Amino acid sequence: MGHTKSKWTAGQLAFFDGSTYETVEPFSPVILYDDFLGTALNGDIWTGLDLNSATLTAPAASICAASIGAVNENAAAGVYGKDDKAWNVDKGLIFECRMTPAVAPTLTTEIGFGVMNDSYGAGSMRFMLADEVAKYAFFGFYTTSGSGLVPIIRTDDGTNDSGIISTATTVVAGTYNIYRIDFSDPTNVLFFIDGAAVATSTTFDMSTGANLMVQPWAVVYKASDATTSAAGTINVDYIRMWQATR
Amino acid sequence: MGQTKSKWKNGQIAFYDGSTYETVKPIAPAILYDDFLGTTTNTDIWTSLHNGGGSIAHATSNLTLSLAGAGATEEEGVSGKDDKAWNADKGFIFECRLKLTTAPTLTAEVIMGVQNDNWGAGANRSFAADEVTIGAFFGFYSTVGAGLVAQIRTDDDSANSGIISTGITSVVGTYQVFRIDFTDATNVLFYIDGVAVATSTTFDMSNGTNIMFQPVVVIQKVGAGGEAGVCVLDYIKMWQPTR
């Protein structure tokens, strides 16, 4: 059980858990926090995705679970921010979530979570096996990297495409980790897992254009592929976003 | 109006009102807080319990729970949809602010706290009968102090505390803040308005590991009729220091 600690990031105070590094109370003018308590997804904030045979399970015990099964079709399961892009990467946005790939992605399945400027498009949201999202900053899992258990990072602001960068961190299916994307400096977006900076030798530049607006995204998905029956499951414990200024 | 103060509990900081001892801002990774603003109960979180001829009214930041006293089972209140998201081994804390406007009579009782059981319509009493298998409750019932002395009962399906009096007499129409603290599941602590109560009893809820709970606040009765009871629930707040 961690002690409450506090830190200043870009001039903003936040309390965090000293052992898990979860940000438990950011002091910011704009905050989104969903712990998925209760038994219904908050449709005021989220679009719940269950494309074709994919399954988005109603929240239970504070967990939002999403999975795709072994069917050759476009499939997507998870949540995104209703294409309501309320978050400005130039305003010191931070995205954080606690999740686990409960079933590691196989074959052509991808898991992505983070923020994007794009609106949702069925069957065209890959960012690893194909680069179909225009402007985004994601953590992700796919089978090419560590049997689907080594999170990768990719950012693209429409000009600067980082390519697929490994965090070199192996996670355990079913064990939760806390992922954070910090836009305090959009010319050098930082990524953290359980409080530790990852992929620090890469500079992730999201600074092309001013006031790029983004929405949150946490989805497992795949494109139709007649040769495979890819599967995967994500369990999302919470999503928290905050922005240092308006 | 009390000054904001803070305290550390098991390494976690929480801000509280220095006069009422309401915990106004726990800094914790998992928090549930409903002040019952608006006029509709949030059914994403709560099951609104309404069984029998009584009523549940949602207005002015309160739930007013009333028995009608008809000759049938009556239950008015809220439960956590049988979604047990709170782990006794993770040190969660339950807090609510409640007042009696009519003390429970005859077989009526009020319970407020947490239970591992699913809600059992007509079978969820903790004081007039011991129908909850695993739970920790404050409560009021007519056997003690004309329904105005808050009682406690815990049961982890091994250690049943029995009914333990807090010795605190409530005043009709006056709110109190009730807190149940699972920081140590072998010694669950109970507070009324910031003061520890029933301190000579050890409330042990440690049977089993990672037992999960939901909140429940309800006024209820199973009886032949003529029972009375009205309570007003101002808020329910729960938080858990770790995931």
Answer yes or no: is B13 within a domain.
no
Strand boundaries in chain A, DSSP class E: 4-9, 12-17, 23-26, 30-34, 47-51, 55-60, 63-68, 75-80, 87-88, 93-103, 110-116, 135-142, 152-157, 165-166, 177-182, 190-193, 196-198, 213-222, 232-243
Answer yes or no: is A7 within a domain.
no
Which residue from B31, B44, B241 is facing A38, i.e. has the nearest CB?
B44
Q: Over the stretch B82-114, which tens digit does the pLDDT of each residue have? A: 999 999 999 999 999 999 999 999 999 999 999
CA atoms of A43 and B119, how far apart (whole Å): 26
CA closest to A61 among chain B residues: B85
Q: Look at A142-146, B39-43, B187-191 and tell me which has the smallest mean pLDDT.
A: A142-146
Assess contact for A95 and A243: CB atoms under 8 A. Answer: no
**Residue A127 carries which DSSP code?**
S
CB-based burial, B55-94: b 16+ in 10 Å, e otherwise: ebebeeebbbbbbbbbeeebbbbbbbbebbbbbbebbbbb
Answer yes or no: is A10 within a domain.
no
Answer yes or no: is B5 within a domain.
no
CA atoms of A6 and B6, how far apart (whole Å): 15
Answer yes or no: is B6 within a domain.
no
Answer yes or no: is B185 within a domain.
yes
Range of the domain at B121: 30-240
CA atoms of A51 and B222, how far apart (whole Å): 48
Cα distances (Å, whole numbers) of residue B103 to A1, A64, A89, B154: 40, 41, 56, 22
pLDDT-based confidence at B58, cuts 50/70/90?
very high
DSSP count for chain A of H helices, then E strands: 0, 19
A1 chain-B contacts, CB cut-off 8 A? 10-12, 90-91, 241-242
Q: Is the pLDDT of residue A69 over 90?
A: no
Instruction: List phi, psi (to 5°) of A35.
Output: -95, 0
How many domains is chain B built from?
Answer: 1
pLDDT of residue A246: 84
Q: Over the stretch A162-203, which tens digit does the pLDDT of each residue have? A: 999 999 999 999 999 999 999 999 999 999 999 999 999 999
CA atoms of A242 and A230, how far apart (whole Å): 34
Answer yes or no: is B130 within a domain.
yes
Q: Over the stretch B138-169, which tens digit does the pLDDT of each residue have? A: 999 999 999 999 999 999 999 999 999 999 99
Q: Which two tokens stand for residue B100?
A: 């009696």
Range of the domain at A131: 29-243
pLDDT-based confidence at B240, cuts 50/70/90?
very high
How many domains is chain A built from?
Answer: 1
CATH number of the domain where residue B135 is located:
2.60.120.200
Q: Is the pLDDT of residue B1 over 70?
A: no
Answer yes or no: is A24 within a domain.
no
ipTM reported for the complex, 2 dp: 0.86
Report the predicted TM-score, pTM, of the whole model to 2 decimal places. 0.91
A158 to chain B, closest Cα gap in Å: 35
Q: Which two tokens stand for residue A199?
A: 């992929």
B83, A39: Cβ pair inside 8 Å?
yes
CATH number of the domain where residue A56 is located:
2.60.120.200
Mean pLDDT, to the nearest integer, of A130-136?
A: 96
Q: Is the pLDDT of residue B17 over 70?
A: yes
**Beta-bridge mates of residue B172:** none
pLDDT-based confidence at B136, cuts 50/70/90?
very high
Q: What percent of chain A has pLDDT over 90?
A: 87
Which residue from A3, A24, A37 is facing B45, i.e. has the nearest CB?
A37
